Amino acid sequence: MLHPTAIIHATAEIGSNVSIGPYSLIGDNVVIHDEVEIAGHVVIEGPCEIGRGTQIFPFASIGQPPQDLKFSGEETRLMIGERNVIREYVTMNRGTAGGGGLTSVGNDNLFMAQAHIAHDSHVGSHCVFANAGTLAGHVEVADHATIGAYSAVHQFCRVGKYAFIGGFSVVVKDALPYARTVGNHASCYGANTIGLRRQGFSNDAIRHIQHAFHILLTSKLNTTQALERLREEMTGIPEIDYLIEFIATSQRGVVK
């Protein structure tokens, strides 16, 4: 299942039932686990590890050095989990020593064409990146987040669980979990009710999240006061506990 025109480095480790298409290049220190499908004209450089069942489409560039002027050739890594779908022209870069040396991607994500995962970023599982969704370096994206087409997330920002970033958005602060964040520069438009319902959230959980965003966005309280109100009224509800922790630990502030 390895095309004769593919170039595979002697140190690369290839699992069972792996297919590699024509003119693809698999470099030094690349580990490809079982049942990975790599189309033609894909370039993968190491150190890099690709989890079981991942699909990589033509012209993707995986594991290249970071686009960071501080990078000086130190050994860093890219780790990709299982069952990811990586479409055409997606780019994912290795980490930098200053950022921890690792770029990581979880399981069951979809990266549509031209999405970019920059150095030292960490993507959870079950996320969707629409076409040209872009992460700058050192970005954290939690599970079940959606990054809209042609949207960009600034360095050192976080995107919370079940967050929805609308298309053509510019996110320069932390994007709140469970919320719709849209615009240039982005604003938060409250709970992503339709998305949460599609994800199987109960009516009670959605009502709690809606009430929390009412306190955060429309109560005329500042963020510190809103957090205190949430702690007083809603502590012990798992979704709200996570929301409170996300806001309280923000380094860049949150999009409101």
Active site residues: 119-120, 137
How far is residue 56's CA from residue 52's CA, in Å, rounded to a whole number? 12
The DSSP string of 190-209 is EE-HHHHHHTT--HHHHHHH
How far is residue 195's CA from residue 156's CA, in Å, rounded to a whole number? 25
Tokens representing 79? Answer: 């780790």
The DSSP string of 90-101 is -EEE---GGGTS
Selection from 148, 138, 108, 111 nearest residue 124 by Cα: 108
Contacts 24+ apart (CB under 8 A), 21-28: 21/58, 27/63
Burial class (CB in 10 A: 0-12, 13-18, 19+), 210: middle
Residue 108: DSSP 8-state: S
Distance of CA 49 to the CA centre of its chain: 17
